[in-house]
Amino acid sequence: MGTGDDGKHSGRNLLSRSKLTDRSLVRSSKTGRVNGYESILQSNWGLAFDWDKKITDFYEEPIKLKITGSLGSFKYFPDFEVINDDGSIDYVEIKPSRYAEKPKTKRKHEEIGEYLNEQGFGFRVLTEKDLGLTQIHISNMRRLKWFAISGKTPLEELQSLSPQGVTTIEELQNKSDSPQQVMELLGRQMAFVDLSKPIMANTEIRKIKESDYVGFY
């Protein structure tokens, strides 16, 4: 469960550790809130939401729903509420594919989707197959996110450091007050780097474009 001060949470407690693949508290670089994730898969999707520029905000397990359908009445706790840049809202279920593809589970998700669509919301079931991120992506994203959260460089100073063309991390670091500033610049998405490759001193970076860092979701 999230630990932010916005008060938007279903109130359901995390499952006991013995039933979890992973349990972690992770601060979002996008919202500043701390989210509680019940699995590595949830945590990885939270990372994708943090990086996707088409997502303006997201909440971990925000509400509790009571749904009645052909399977009877049941409570449902969406894993995420995702707010898109067009103002639309999706509720998201994160589920390993081996469970999501079971017929009864698929039918349950269909009923949840029908209910939420009637209320004007979207509904998506996301698995590890939908993620599209390699371990290199995830490692780079987590590393740069840490610099974004922990960095203290004023925005104006980072803006003055932003490349206007193609350069390398080392070249930009030589122009900065500290090597960490360049990593903070990348973590705050003020310059583009290819996240699919290891980030090193000779890695090329360039001016950010509107089309960069979208499509993770």
Range of the domain at 164: 135-206
For residues 88 and 188, membership in a common domain is answered with no
pLDDT for 31 equals: 93
For residues 71 and 147, membership in a common domain is answered with no
Q: Which CATH number is 87's domain given?
A: 3.40.1350.10
For residues 37 and 51, membership in a common domain is answered with yes
For residues 22 and 121, membership in a common domain is answered with yes
Q: Quickly list DSSP for the chain.
A: ----SS-----PPPPPGGG-S--EEEE-TTT--EEEESSHHHHHHHHHHHH-TTEEEEEES---EEEEETTEEEEE--SEEEEETTS-EEEEEE--HHHHTSHHHHHHHHHHHHHHHHTT-EEEEE-HHHH---HHHHHHHHHHHHHHHH----HHHHHHHS-SS-EEHHHHHHHSSSHHHHHHHHHTTSSEE-TTS---TT-EEE---TTTT----
pLDDT for 92 equals: 98
pLDDT for 17 equals: 45
The number of folded domains in the chain is: 2
What's the whole-model pTM score?
0.88
Mean pLDDT of successive 10-residue segments in the chain (217 residues)?
50 47 82 93 97 97 89 92 98 97 95 95 97 97 97 94 96 92 97 97 97 95
Last residue of a domain, one of 131, 146, 177: 131
Domain membership of residue 37 (yes or no) is yes
pLDDT for 16 equals: 42
Domain membership of residue 215 (yes or no) is no
pLDDT for 120 equals: 96
pLDDT for 19 equals: 45
pLDDT for 20 equals: 42
For residues 85 and 34, membership in a common domain is answered with yes
pLDDT for 18 equals: 41
For residues 101 and 183, membership in a common domain is answered with no
For residues 102 and 66, membership in a common domain is answered with yes
